[in-house]
Amino acid sequence: MALVAGMRVGSRVLFRPWAWLPGAALGRKESAARGRVGARGFGSQRVLVEPDPAAGIAVMKLKSPPVNSLSLELLTEFVISLEKLENDKTFRGIILTSDCPGVFSAGLDLMEMCGKNPAHYAEYWKAVQELWLRLYLSNLVLIAAINGACPAGGCLISLTCDYRVLADNPKYVIGLNETLLGIVAPFWFKDTLVNTIGHRTSERALQLGILFPPAEALQVGMVDKVVPEDQVQSTALSVMAQWLSIPDHARQLTKNMMRKATADRLVKQRDSDIQNFVGFISRDSIQKSLQVYLGKLRQKKG
Ligand SMILES: CCC/C=C/C(=O)SCCNC(=O)CCNC(=O)[C@H](O)C(C)(C)COP(=O)([O-])OP(=O)([O-])OC[C@H]1O[C@@H](n2cnc3c(N)ncnc32)[C@H](O)[C@@H]1OP(=O)([O-])[O-]
């Protein structure tokens, strides 16, 4: 069963960040009808959604200053907004971008991974998994309009999209730089990268933690197009038009065929992946590395 079609994958019940929302106890159809997006913008504190029902698309802007780091709150609000658009058949595509100047997303929130207890790490990791699964298997066309730096988890989010447009600014680097923090990208981050840029380039990029500037990102296939900063949005819109010219059912089945095996690898071992993460991140040596990295980030500012 497709992930986007329900809250169940096989026999597994997925994380339900919206369970506390009013209407969560409603039947799926009823709740979807009540939650219809319409032409008015909606969103939450950290995720702004600008729908264009006539065009069948919505622009989703991450708005968690200063750097859109993926806190538990941002992850939760992201999934809720995504679900709302998935449930409203008006929408066929989402342009994903940032409302924070100069940063698409700084990746996972380091504060969520430092100095907390195992239960918190487990909850956090489950939310990271959930967002990835939903984005990676989304039936909608997802286009990333990358208007800022895009390291680590930010890069992962962009890699789940069907197409990436990057603003041509040398500061807007993109890549999975986890090793630079002394941590290791899990297998599904790696799989997502390999599926995009191939094995050898991924091997080098992951081990060295390379953050590619725009021209190189384009060259290795990390992004599909690099354009002047003021053209990122318009380019994303015209690319979207091209993708929406394909009949949905054929495109969706094809996307699923390309991605399902990769997603299933995580679905089959979500619990052990959580345990691995909790064990890894709780190590003294890893906590020390993260603290050192955070210190460097703060120093750079001062
Ligand atoms: C196994 C796990 C896999 C892990 C995956 C990941 O994604 S790991 C994540 C790997 N991610 C990275 O390696 C990216 C690290 N970040 C950067 O490289 C830069 O912040 C930037 C290039 C994104 C933006 O540069 P800029 O000059 O525009 O901004 P600035 O640098 O001045 O920061 C402003 C404030 O935000 C703070 N803060 C920043 N990032 C994070 C974060 N992820 N979290 C929390 N906080 C973060 C920063 O400390 C500062 O706080 P202060 O001092 O005001 O309290």
Q: What is the pLDDT of residue 88?
A: 95
Q: If you average pLDDT over residues 141-160, what whole number do you get? A: 98
CA-CA distance, 155 to 144, in Å (whole number)? 10
Retrieve residue 127's tokens: 């939310």
Q: If you average pLDDT over residues 80-94, what whole number do you get? A: 97
CATH of domain 42-300: 3.90.226.10
pLDDT in tens, 26-48: 333 444 444 566 667 777 899 99
Q: Which residues are catalytic?
A: 108, 153, 177-178
Whether residue 53 has a cis bond before it, omega within 30° of 0: no
Ranges of each domain in the chain: 42-300
Q: Whose CA is nearest to atom 52 of ligand 1?
A: 298
111 versus 5: which is more confidently predicted? Answer: 111
pLDDT band at 283 (very low <50, low <70, confident <90, very high): very high
Q: What is the pLDDT of residue 155?
A: 99
**Looking at the predicted structure, is the pLDDT value of residue 3 above 90?**
no
pLDDT in tens, 90-114: 999 999 999 999 999 999 999 999 9
Which stretches of the chain are DSSP H helices? 28-34, 72-87, 118-136, 152-159, 187-197, 199-208, 214-220, 232-244, 248-267, 270-282, 284-301
Q: Among 46, 67, 180, which residue has the most ligand 1 atoms within 8 Å of its CB, making it the best to mutate?
A: 67
Q: Whose CA is nearest to atom 55 of ligand 1?
A: 298
**Rounded to whole angstroms, what are the CA distances from 138 to 132, 200, 256?**
10, 27, 9
Q: Is the dihedral of CA 160, 161, 165, 169 positive or negative?
A: negative
Distance 12 CA to ligand 1 centre (A): 33
Distance 211 CA to ligand 1 centre (A): 14
**Rounded to whole angstroms, what are the CA distances from 162 to 25, 26, 136?**
33, 32, 9
CA-CA distance, 280 to 39, in Å (whole number)? 45
Q: What is the pLDDT of residue 43?
A: 78
**Looking at the predicted structure, is the pLDDT value of residue 125 above 90?**
yes
Q: If you average pLDDT over residues 161-189, what whole number do you get? A: 98
- The binding-site residues of ligand 1, defined as CB within 6 angstroms of any ligand atom, are 66-67, 69, 102-103, 106-111, 149, 151-153, 177-178, 181, 183, 185-186, 294, 297-298, 300-301
Distance 292 CA to ligand 1 centre (A): 13
Task: Name beta bridge partners: 99.
Answer: none
pTM above 0.80, yes or no: yes
Percent over 70 (pLDDT), the chain: 86
Distance 163 CA to ligand 1 centre (A): 24
